[in-house]
Amino acid sequence: MKTNAIRIREYGGPDVLEYVEVDLPEPGPGEATLRHTAIGLNFIDTYHRTGLYPMELPTGLGSEAAGVVEAVGAGVDGVAPGDRVVYTGRPADSYSERRNFPAWQLVPIPDDVDDDIAAASLLKGLTAWYLLRRSYPVEAGDAVLLYAAAGGVGSIASQWGKHLGATVIGVVSTDAKAELARAQGCDHIIMADSDDIPGQVRALTDGEGVAAAYDSIGRDTFFTSLDSLRPHGVMVTFGNASGPVDPFAPAELAKRHSLYVTRPVLFDFIDTRERLLNAAEELFGVLSSGAVKVSVNQRYPLADAAQAHRDLEGRKTTGSTVLLP
């Protein structure tokens, strides 16, 4: 069978994305063939495109999509043709009309969740889940610092953090994003270009600092985050929007009063079907109760994925973005 998909033959800017026709073989053992209905856009797609996270070239792109199962390979018993499913994972090839994918990683979409919301929620929502429930499990009354609070992960994490009883201090770059982040549960907003984020954090926390900093910005904010933590606070550095964090001396943690640093990756928290489905159940639970609302604020045709990358890297998007095949 033939299908249309994005391919990259070299690392680079958004212009390396090519929309081409490719061959799609029958599903192999343990695989399902999916017809995508909505594809999630994620910042990790830009790391794959630039080679920050190396891939074998040529390659597809994309780590999240919703769709319908069209066929299954030998040994698949968890899903059947006609099922609505959503997934996140590798190999990266979600930017496609159809693909084959390991069936154990397919999550059934609840009846009350639309396909585009599912594609906008799984990778970012499970990330918010492990950040707040595993990397530093938030307790009611904790103050936490969250960057890109109006972005994809940030929009979900701010609502979920609030739902868990935290005081959420969000960092954003524009007034419009500040308004959005406040509406999504951030108690306080600090502007990203502030020259004293730690000072503002301390002013907002009676001089103490935050219990955890959820930092997706990376290189530019690493020490800003450490300086914002309370003694024994937890630095969760989970992204590279400004570039990867430079090497640092452990003594930096000692002199700021026994801090912890973790550098987590979503896929380590959902590495078995049981862990994946349990995490997804928690996510769909907060969506269905209304505690967390996921907004698809940008939609692009799949063939325009390059423009979606430009807008994401240009800090023009808010909430979630989907590509439509």
User: What is the closest distance, in whole angstroms, from the C-beta atom of residue 217 to ligand NAP in the complex?
Assistant: 5
DSSP per position, 163-185: HTT-EEEEEESSHHHHHHHHHTT
Distant-in-sequence, close-in-space partners of 310: CB < 8 Å, separation ≥ 6? 14
- Total of residues contacting ligand NAP (CB under 6 A): 30
- 280 contacts ligand NAP (rule: CB under 6 A): no
User: What is the closest distance, in whole angstroms, from the C-beta atom of residue 28 to ligand NAP in the complex?
Assistant: 27
Binders of ligand NAP among residues 129 to 148 (CB under 6 A) are 148
**Applying CB under 6 A, which of residues 3, 4, 59, 242 lies at the interface with ligand NAP?**
242
Backbone phi, then psi, for 225, in 5-degree steps? -65, -45
Where do we find the tokens 């349990």? 278
Give the torsion sign (CA, 316, 242, 18, 64): negative
Residue whose CB is less far from ligand NAP, 164 or 266: 266
Residue whose CB is less far from ligand NAP, 124 or 230: 124
The pair of structure tokens assigned to 240 is: 């590279």
User: What is the closest distance, in whole angstroms, from the C-beta atom of residue 255 to ligand NAP in the complex?
Assistant: 26
- 103 contacts ligand NAP (rule: CB under 6 A): no
Which region among 2-10, 17-25, 38-46, 247-255 touches ligand NAP (by CB under 6 A)?
38-46
Distance CA(64)–CA(76), nearest Å, equals: 20
Distance CA(265)–CA(251), nearest Å, equals: 24
- 124 contacts ligand NAP (rule: CB under 6 A): yes
**Applying CB under 6 A, which of residues 127, 224, 225, 228 lies at the interface with ligand NAP?**
127
Where do we find the tokens 């005081």? 167
Give the torsion sign (CA, 76, 78, 82, 83): negative
Do 181 and 188 form a contact (C-beta atoms < 8 A)? no
User: What is the closest distance, in whole angstroms, from the C-beta atom of residue 207 to ligand NAP in the complex?
Assistant: 26
Quick note: the x/- pattern for ligand NAP over 44-83, rule CB under 6 A, is x---------------------------------------
DSSP per position, 192-242: TT-S-HHHHHHHHTTTS-EEEEEE-S-GGGHHHHHHHEEEEEEEEE---TT
Residue whose CB is less far from ligand NAP, 68 or 123: 123
Dihedral, CA atoms, 70, 74, 76, 80, nearest 10 degrees? 30
Which region among 10-18, 30-38, 172-180, 202-210 touches ligand NAP (by CB under 6 A)?
172-180
- 214 contacts ligand NAP (rule: CB under 6 A): no
Which region among 193-201, 224-232, 236-244, 294-302 touches ligand NAP (by CB under 6 A)?
236-244
Q: List interacting residues with ligand NAP (CB under 6 A).
A: 42-44, 123-124, 127, 148, 150-154, 172-173, 177, 192, 216-217, 238-242, 264-266, 312-313, 315, 317
